[in-house]
């Protein structure tokens, strides 16, 4: 089963466009069955052999690929930005581009962090460009050893079942338990693969792991409500408070993001707010003052910490590999002293403030 959800009922036009496109595909592949209402499209397969299913599935993905990346820069007409879909929930597998063991920056203790592929945002400073496309990618990786350069083809993105996730965690259980650590789902945007994320979180909780979700806040409120019972900690990004500026910097509105933040503040689950500090983008005194006031005025028991994530260029070399233009070439990381001053500044919110993750 292949499910596309439309959590925001106001996106009918986009939904109709998608239905139209899938119907065209449907005519080409009579073995595909299509059901839809105003919130959800389900594509299933009639009795087909495994190779037929694989063929049809790749066609569906190809169509979506064209659809999603047609115009990713323009948030007003961009289907991808305005319509967070979950294009790879078939067979309940999640597409993961990296697994980090012994992680100490994504929540308490020693953790395993699964980086899930696909993000509906398009932040100018993103240091994980390999996490943006929601599809597996094949890239050429070049490494220099002395004077010689070696090139290898690299597959980015691997499908994991929930059982695969548990197998990875089981191998690290001793370290996780001793350090009071757990598992973190990051990305990309893990909520983009919502159905898989929910199942993975449930299974992790059932197996006694502390769970964290590192999110941009960009998904439906229903989706967040569904994961609250199985999530212990939310790492929640707040990038800019002004909607127009947020669209300019990330490609999407922040209205739903801030609503989701307020929802989580009432959830009695722990929240760590992550603020990327991007010189010339969100670090002007006026915005920082508003942000501090916002964090202060909305604060509940749930807010445990503010993390200041200083802009860096570590991921810039990856852009070329993924054929994405790097837009931050002229921006320099903030001075150490400035970040230290910001730490003092945000302490007035009344929670811990940490520089870094």
Nearest by Cα to 35 from 50, 49, 22: 22
Position 128 contacts ligand SF4 (CB under 6 A): yes
For residue 109, the minimal CB distance to ligand SF4 (Å) is: 23
Rounded to a whole number of angstroms, the minimum distance from the CB of residue 120 to ligand SF4 is 8
Measured from the CB atom, the residue of 32 and 123 that comes closer to ligand SF4 is: 123
In the complex with ligand SF4, the residue whose CB is nearer, 2 or 236, is 236
How many residues touch ligand SF4 under the rule CB under 6 A: the total is: 12
Among 6, 98, 216, 282, binds ligand SF4 (CB under 6 A): 216
Q: What mask of x and - would describe binding to ligand SF4 in positions 173 to 192, judged by CB under 6 A?
A: --------------xxx---
Does residue 122 interact with ligand SF4 by CB under 6 A?
yes
The reply on whether position 123 binds ligand SF4 by CB under 6 A is yes
Which window, 123-131, 156-164, 253-261, 319-327, contacts ligand SF4 (CB under 6 A)?
Answer: 123-131
Of residues 123 and 230, the one with the C-beta less far from ligand SF4:
123
Nearer CB in complex with ligand SF4: 89/216: 216
What residue ranges bind ligand SF4 (CB under 6 A)? 119, 121-123, 126, 128, 131-132, 187-189, 216
């Amino acid at each position: 089963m292949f499910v596309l959800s439309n959590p925001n009922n106001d996106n009918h036009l986009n939904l109709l466009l998608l239905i139209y496109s899938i119907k065209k595909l449907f005519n080409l592949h009579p073995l595909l069955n299509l059901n839809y209402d105003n919130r959800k499209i389900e594509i299933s397969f009639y009795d087909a052999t495994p190779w037929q299913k694989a063929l049809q599935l790749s066609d569906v993905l190809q169509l979506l690929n064209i659809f999603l990346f047609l115009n990713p820069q323009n948030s007003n007409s961009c289907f991808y930005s305005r319509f967070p879909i979950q294009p790879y929930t078939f067979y309940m597998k999640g597409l993961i581009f990296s697994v980090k063991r012994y992680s100490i920056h994504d929540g308490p203790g020693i953790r395993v962090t699964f980086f899930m592929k696909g993000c509906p945002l398009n932040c100018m400073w993103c240091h994980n460009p390999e996490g943006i496309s929601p599809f597996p990618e094949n890239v050429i990786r070049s490494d220099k050893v002395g004077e010689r350069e070696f090139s290898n083809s690299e597959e980015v993105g691997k499908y994991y079942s929930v059982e695969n996730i548990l197998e990875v965690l089981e191998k690290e259980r001793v370290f996780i338990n001793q350090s009071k650590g757990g598992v973190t789902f990051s990305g990309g945007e893990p909520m983009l693969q919502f159905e898989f994320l929910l199942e993975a979180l449930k299974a992790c909780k059932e197996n006694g792991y502390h769970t964290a979700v590192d999110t941009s806040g960009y998904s439906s409120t229903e989706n967040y409500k569904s994961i609250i019972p199985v999530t212990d900690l939310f790492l929640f990004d707040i990038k800019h408070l002004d909607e127009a500026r947020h669209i300019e910097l990330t490609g999407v509105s922040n209205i739903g993001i801030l609503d989701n933040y307020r929802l989580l503040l009432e959830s009695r689950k722990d929240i760590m707010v992550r603020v990327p500090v991007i010189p010339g983008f969100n670090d002007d005194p006026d915005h920082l003052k508003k942000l501090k006031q916002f964090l202060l005025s909305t604060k509940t028991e749930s807010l445990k910490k503010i993390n200041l994530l200083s802009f860096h260029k570590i991921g810039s070399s990856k852009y070329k590999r993924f054929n994405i233009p790097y837009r931050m070439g002229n921006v320099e990381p903030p001075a150490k002293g400035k970040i230290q001053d910001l730490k003092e500044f945000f302490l007035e919110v009344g929670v811990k403030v940490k520089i870094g993750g």
